[in-house]
Chain A
Amino acid sequence: MATTLVTAAESVVHAARLENVSKSFTAPGGQQLVLDGISLDVAPGEFVTLLGASGCGKSTLLNLVAGLDRPTAGSITTDGRPALMFQEHALFPWLTAGKNIELALKLRGVPKPQRRGRAEELLELVRLKGAYGKRVHELSGGMRQRVAMARALAQESNLLLMDEPFAALDAITRDVLHDELTRIWQETGVSVLFVTHNVREAVRLAQRVVLLSSRPGRVAREWTVDIPQPRRIEDAPVAELSLEITEVLRGEIRRHGRH
């Protein structure tokens, strides 16, 4: 009786739970360990960034959580299928912005009469009212990522996975999209697991920053970010914490030069 209660409670407490997750790939020189014993919980409504240098397996980890790949060891539990946003917008060019969102709704089983209205609502949420009939190539980079965000939100998943979604954008657009993401996260209450190699971006957005070491990826350290939102990337407390995290990150990277 007691155990059932605990399990039921646990499924509510975590949007995602990773327990001792390891992943290795077959390489020419034998098995290559990419992720080593990662344990991580994301609470419902929490915003977590995963930070790490090249080769820390951030994207591999996100693929595992998204269910696109299986871990070699350990377990991953999520509350339903997570939505995933990529560095490239990954919108389908044969559909308009609105129809891209409607496809996500359709695949989730939303009945046809409701799709159009819901798609318009989501476009309004990302401030792209009137872009329903626009083709993907008619949109700017920032607009495409916002449509992609709307499409991801259309999945009504409890967890939004983001794989460096703003890395390919110019600085001004990225800044604006940080504000947008914060606003949407606060409005929808979705949990976010955001992968980046940009320390300031991580601090700007997250409630918790998780630093991964490289080759193999392990959780090196965690920081709770207490700076109140809305933050700006230039704010002194953001810069200060970024500096501290950067020092630790550099230390992690230096270890690889010594061998």
Chain B
Amino acid sequence: MAGTDTKTARGAELAGVEAGLDALEATETGRTPLRRTLVDKVLPPVVAIAVVLVVWQALISLKVVDDPSRLPSPADVGREFKDAWLQGTLLDFVWTSVSRGLLGFLFALAIGTPLGLLVARVKFVRAAIGPVLSGLQSLPSVAWVPPAVIWLGLNNSMMYAVILLGAVPSIANGLVSGIDQVPPLFLRAGRTMGATGVRGAWHIVLPAALPGYLAGLKQGWAFSWRSLMAAEIIASSPDLGIGLGALLENGRNASSMSMVFEAIVLILFVGIAIDLLIFSPLERWVLRSRGLLVKS
């Protein structure tokens, strides 16, 4: 009887020590208050934009640059935006390019992902096309525009072809490096649990490779957007509708610097917006849930 008592007492003592250790060592995670986020994250870029506008306006007001065909005033560019908005064409410009870019990106995703898997997992394929795939990343995708025009003509397929050639290598390479960086310990742990072959790939390799894959997607989007703009500038044709690249080209042809500025601002804005709205939150969520993102 006494023996059981001591055993229970010891057990209770152990549970208490353990609970204390857990409480001492576990890290508390809380949410940052909204005000703090606004001050830390939103304020700095707003200030930076304001500074740029002030300097720009100063260049005009102080007559440092006194030629509207070289540097239009912020107000001129603003008027250009307002006109396009009132005519209802502003969103058309944006949508023409964004829909093209996103659709092309989805195609690139559908091709780049299996390609990356093949390169990462099949030795022969890696030796055969691995180096070419990484090499393609450094080839400016604008180089594909002339051959694409010759092969496919001035149409949407040519745009998509250029987007694919720009984005597929990034996406595939991202997945390959993600898979290469999977810690061998995870693979061993998976194997002892019976996760081999396809089950190992699905339950262990792919989730472990997700951060690298996402980085590849992000770069893939940047590349598709850039290649699309290059294609739209070079291959503008009335049949293709006016996207942002075509708008830029039209502005140049009409010697309207404020239209050129409008197009540049829009291209930049879309690129940043897609990144901020889609890729950055996705990447942050993945990294944070794995404890890989330290709050600063």
Interface residues of A in 118-140 (CB under 8 A from B): 127-128, 135-140
Would A81 and B194 count as touching, CB distance under 8 A?
Answer: yes
Name the contact of A92 in the complex, choosing from B14, B27, B186 (C-beta under 8 A): B186
B288 to chain A, nearest CB (A): 9
B226 to chain A, nearest CB (A): 31
- Asked whether B10 is an interface residue with its Cβ less than 8 Å from the other chain, the reply is yes
Name the contact of B203 in the complex, choosing from A86, A103, A183 (C-beta under 8 A): A103
Chain B residues with CB under 8 Å of A68's CB are 188, 191-192
Distance A66 CA – B208 CA, assembled complex (angstroms): 23
Interface residues of A in 131-151 (CB under 8 A from B): 135-143, 151
Of the listed stretches B15-23, B137-145, B172-180, B267-275, name the one at the interface; the rest are far from the partner chain.
Answer: B15-23
Distance A82 CA – B191 CA, assembled complex (angstroms): 11
Would B194 and A107 count as touching, CB distance under 8 A?
Answer: yes
Name the contact of A143 in the complex, choosing from B26, B192, B193, B195 (C-beta under 8 A): B26
Q: Which residue of chain A is the closest to B286 with respect to CB atoms?
A: A94
Name the contact of B25 in the complex, choosing from A95, A127, A136, A140 (C-beta under 8 A): A140
Would A137 and B192 count as touching, CB distance under 8 A?
Answer: no
Interface centre among B11, B22, B185, B292 (most CB of A within 10 A): B22
Q: Tally the A-B contacts, defined by beta carbons under 8 Å.
A: 97
Would B203 and A82 count as touching, CB distance under 8 A?
Answer: no
Chain B residues with CB under 8 Å of A93's CB are 289-292
Name the contact of A176 in the complex, choosing from B14, B27, B29, B191 (C-beta under 8 A): B14
Would A139 and B290 count as touching, CB distance under 8 A?
Answer: no
- Asked whether A104 is an interface residue with its Cβ less than 8 Å from the other chain, the reply is yes
Distance A176 CA – B29 CA, assembled complex (angstroms): 25
Q: Which residue of chain B is the closest to A66 with respect to CB atoms?
A: B192
Chain A residues with CB under 8 Å of B189's CB are 84, 86, 90, 92
Interface residues of B in 276-296 (CB under 8 A from A): 286, 289-292
Would A143 and B25 count as touching, CB distance under 8 A?
Answer: yes
Distance A140 CA – B22 CA, assembled complex (angstroms): 7
Chain B residues with CB under 8 Å of A116's CB are none
Chain B residues with CB under 8 Å of A143's CB are 22, 25-26
Q: Which residue of chain A is the closest to B13 with respect to CB atoms?
A: A179
Given contacts A92-B186, A138-B29, A173-B21, contact A83 B290 (CB under 8 A): no
Name the contact of B21 in the complex, choosing from A81, A140, A151 (C-beta under 8 A): A140
Would B26 and A176 count as touching, CB distance under 8 A?
Answer: no
Chain A residues with CB under 8 Å of B290's CB are 93-94, 135-137
Would B185 and A103 count as touching, CB distance under 8 A?
Answer: no
- Asked whether B204 is an interface residue with its Cβ less than 8 Å from the other chain, the reply is yes
A171 to chain B, nearest CB (A): 12
Given contacts A93-B291, A108-B194, A230-B7, contact A180 B14 (CB under 8 A): yes
A150 to chain B, nearest CB (A): 13
Would A107 and B15 count as touching, CB distance under 8 A?
Answer: no
Chain B residues with CB under 8 Å of A155's CB are 192-194
- Asked whether B199 is an interface residue with its Cβ less than 8 Å from the other chain, the reply is yes
Chain A residues with CB under 8 Å of B291's CB are 93, 135-138
- Asked whether B154 is an interface residue with its Cβ less than 8 Å from the other chain, the reply is no
Distance A235 CA – B147 CA, assembled complex (angstroms): 81
Q: Name the prevailing secondary structure of the B interface residues.
A: helix
- Asked whether B234 is an interface residue with its Cβ less than 8 Å from the other chain, the reply is no
Chain B residues with CB under 8 Å of A135's CB are 289-291
Q: Could you tell me how many residues of chain A have their Cβ less than 8 Å away from some Cβ of chain B?
A: 38
- Asked whether B78 is an interface residue with its Cβ less than 8 Å from the other chain, the reply is no
Would B21 and A94 count as touching, CB distance under 8 A?
Answer: no
Interface residues of B in 1-55 (CB under 8 A from A): 7, 10-11, 14-15, 17-19, 21-22, 24-27, 29
- Asked whether B207 is an interface residue with its Cβ less than 8 Å from the other chain, the reply is yes
Would B188 and A107 count as touching, CB distance under 8 A?
Answer: no
- Asked whether A1 is an interface residue with its Cβ less than 8 Å from the other chain, the reply is no
Would A127 and B18 count as touching, CB distance under 8 A?
Answer: yes
Would B194 and A94 count as touching, CB distance under 8 A?
Answer: no
Interface centre among B24, B26, B192, B290 (most CB of A within 10 A): B192
- Asked whether A172 is an interface residue with its Cβ less than 8 Å from the other chain, the reply is yes
Q: Which residue of chain B is the closest to A173 with respect to CB atoms?
A: B21
- Asked whether A41 is an interface residue with its Cβ less than 8 Å from the other chain, the reply is no
Would A142 and B22 count as touching, CB distance under 8 A?
Answer: yes
Would A138 and B14 count as touching, CB distance under 8 A?
Answer: no
Distance A66 CA – B193 CA, assembled complex (angstroms): 10
Interface centre among A83, A86, A92, A95 (most CB of B within 10 A): A92
Interface residues of A in 50-107 (CB under 8 A from B): 66-68, 81-84, 86, 88, 90, 92-95, 103-104, 107
Would B193 and A92 count as touching, CB distance under 8 A?
Answer: no
Distance A98 CA – B160 CA, assembled complex (angstroms): 44
- Asked whether B117 is an interface residue with its Cβ less than 8 Å from the other chain, the reply is no
Interface residues of A in 167-193 (CB under 8 A from B): 172-173, 176, 179-180, 183
Distance A155 CA – B189 CA, assembled complex (angstroms): 12
A142 to chain B, nearest CB (A): 6
Nearest 8 interchain pairs by C-beta: A137-B291, A140-B25, A90-B189, A93-B290, A84-B192, A107-B194, A94-B207, A107-B193
- CB-defined A-B contacts under 8 Å, sample of 5: A83-B193, A135-B290, A142-B25, A143-B22, A176-B17
